[in-house]
Amino acid sequence: GHAGLFGTAEDICKLLTLMFFDYSKGTTHLGVKQDLLRTFWERQTELGNGTWALGFDTPAATASSAGKYFSPNSVGHLGFTGTSFWFDLDRELLVVLLSNRVYIGRENEKIKEFRPLIHDRIIECLDSV
């Protein structure tokens, strides 16, 4: 797992923003070439109907943790404690959620309902401006 990797929302946003620049503009802020990052963020069709990219997730057609509005050209990652990020590459929109769902017990699964709701509300608010 990824236990032991900790960061602030600000630092995670900085890291993912640099990854996006490397992905979209061909820069090498992180020493990763554009074509390699594009491969890692592309849905792996040879896995059948899955939603996985290499080390990342992409939105499912239904019941996605990204919600209803993130484009198919999005990547995300979920953590056991409820943390997540979703990055809509078309909208250039990044949402980072840091939480500790296990604080009240490991059996707490409410984060699965909360993630898509918060993502939907954020996009609805942005679209209404």
The domain 9-127: what is its CATH number? 3.40.710.10
**pLDDT value at residue 69:** 97
Q: Compute the distance between CA of residue 105 and CA of residue 50 in angstroms, rounded to an integer.
A: 30
DSSP-assigned beta bridge partners for residue 84: 78, 97
Residue ranges per structural domain of the chain = 9-127
What mean pLDDT, rounded, does the chain reach? Answer: 90
Give the confidence band of 47 by pLDDT, cuts at 50, 70, 90.
Answer: low
Q: Which residues make Cβ contacts (< 8 Å) with residue 14, sequence separation at least 6?
A: none
Q: 56-108 pLDDT, tens per residue? A: 999 998 999 999 999 999 999 998 888 899 999 999 999 999 998 888 888 98
**pLDDT value at residue 59:** 95
